[in-house]
Amino acid sequence: MEIIAERITTADRIGGYLARPRDQKSPAVLVHFEIFGVNSHIEDVCRRIAGAGYAALAPDYYWRLETKTAPYSDLNAGFQLASQLKDDQVVADAGSAIRYLRSQDFVEPDAIGSIGFCMGGRISILVAAGHPRFISAAVSFYGGGLTGENPRPGQTLNPMEESAKIQAPILLFYGEKDQFILPEHVEKFNGRLKQLGKNFQSNVYPGADHGFFCDERPSYNAEAAKDAWERTLDFLEANLKKAEVAGV
């Protein structure tokens, strides 16, 4: 399968990285970055998703900032970028990205998913809640702050409350050794989803740390990453291909 990869800009001037199969109309997936921005890892994730038969778009939520990426070696720089984001702007920017995808002739407009990593895992949940009509599947890899803990100044939305609006199935991944997301956070968010009667799956990988999916980070765990990727592709196929066929 030949993949086309390019930088795009939505009608609202929001940049992004798009990867998609050539000459194929496909379901689409929004890819939400870690605190480090749309870097080589996120671009690679988009290309991998495209290789599985989807149009994958990573919106650049840092488009308003002068600096748009930070290296994995500088965690403080990543946190500095993330501290400048505002939830309402991120959800609105995601809406612009959704409109862009739905307007493209290579996208099945009623089959769009959402996947995010780290901070992006939280964003994935908020986007599914903020745009429930258009998100047919939501995936969160080690999403921090899902229970509202340690909010940054711009984080005015609590996923615990916002998740009530989600209509899509949810897939969650965590690492057992994650020092940012504690077992009680996982249990609390799972409990909230159960209380709301949401369709969700939650997976905790023994021995895995925060960022276990990223092969550019020291915390990369090949076994956990492989299993999570396979589960993600199965989840996207079950929900986006179903939405594509049903036209819902």
Q: For the domain that residue 132 is a member of, what is the CATH number?
A: 3.40.50.1820
What tens digit of pLDDT does each residue of 52-101 get? Answer: 999 999 999 999 999 999 999 999 999 999 999 999 999 999 999 999 99
Cβ 27 vs Cβ 54: under 8 Å: yes
Structural domains counted in the chain? 1
* Residue 212 pLDDT greater than 90, yes or no: yes
Residue 242: band (very low, low, confident or very high) from pLDDT cuts 50, 70, 90: low
* Contact residues for 117 (Cβ-Cβ < 8 A; gap 6+): 32, 33, 34, 42, 45, 141, 142, 211, 213, 214
Which pLDDT does position 244 carry in this prediction?
56
pTM more than 0.75: yes
* Residue 30 pLDDT greater than 80, yes or no: yes
118 catalytic per annotation: yes
Report residue 157 as tokens. Answer: 């939305």
Spacing of C-alpha 243 from chain mean position: 19
What tens digit of pLDDT does each residue of 99-146 get? Answer: 999 999 999 999 999 999 999 999 999 999 999 999 999 999 999 999
Query: Which residue of the set 32, 131, 185, 210 is catalytic?
Result: 210
Query: Which residue of the set 60, 87, 93, 178 is catalytic?
Result: 178
Query: Which residue of the set 118, 131, 185, 214 is catalytic?
Result: 118
Cβ 175 vs Cβ 212: under 8 Å: yes
- Host domain of residue 107: 3-246
Which pLDDT does position 84 carry in this prediction?
97
Give 155's DSSP letter.
-
Cβ 205 vs Cβ 98: under 8 Å: no
Residue 214: band (very low, low, confident or very high) from pLDDT cuts 50, 70, 90: very high
Please tell me the distance from the alpha carbon of residue 71 to that of residue 101, in angstroms, as a whole number. 29
